[in-house]
């Protein structure tokens, strides 16, 4: 079981990595959509988190591709700036399991990971 984070923001990576470490779950990070989708096909990924502020990420193309990579694709959670309503709506329309503003995501990161991978140990 592992997690994927699509983000190039070092602060975001550090916060998510801390939560993953508390749960003893490997976290793989990338800024490349193709690498993220390929990693999901090759690994037992249970959750993909997409930072919508990542340049060049097209959530409308990436989310469905990730979810179709395996028979039971990983859950996909997207988050982005609260002022980008259209981007958040596009993530929901793309089929993401959950979509959060950046503030909501960080306020609930522990709860989100518990839902998909279990409680911290």
The pLDDT tens digits of the residues spanning 70-80 come to 556 788 999 98
Q: Residue 113: its pLDDT value, please?
A: 93
Q: What angle do CA 55, 60, 61 make, to 5 degrees?
A: 85
List domains and CATH numbers for the chain: 2-76+95-114 (3.40.50.2300)
Q: Residue 24: its pLDDT value, please?
A: 92
The pLDDT tens digits of the residues spanning 7-64 come to 999 999 999 999 999 999 999 999 988 888 888 877 788 999 999 998 888 888 887 7
Radius of gyration in angstroms for the set of CA atoms belonging to the chain, rounded to a whole number: 13
Q: Does 29 or 82 have the greater pLDDT score?
A: 29
Q: Residue 72: its pLDDT value, please?
A: 63
CA distances from 63 to 19, 24, 40, 57, 119 (A): 23, 25, 11, 10, 25
Q: Residue 26: its pLDDT value, please?
A: 93
Average the pLDDT over 96-118 and give the result: 92
Q: Residue 70: its pLDDT value, please?
A: 57
């Amino acid at each position: 079981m592992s997690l994927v984070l699509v983000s190039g923001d070092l602060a975001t990576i550090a916060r998510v990595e801390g939560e993953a470490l508390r749960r003893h779950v490997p976290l793989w990070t990338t800024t490349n959509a193709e690498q993220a989708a390929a990693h999901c096909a090759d690994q037992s990924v249970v959750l993909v988190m997409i930072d919508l502020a990542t340049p060049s990420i097209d959530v409308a193309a990436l989310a469905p591709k990730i979810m179709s990579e395996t028979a039971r694709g990983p859950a996909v959670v997207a988050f982005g700036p609260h002022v980008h309503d259209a981007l958040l709506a596009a993530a929901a329309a793309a089929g993401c399991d959950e979509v959060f503003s950046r503030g909501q995501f960080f306020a609930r990161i522990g709860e989100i990971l518990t839902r998909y991978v279990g409680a911290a140990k």
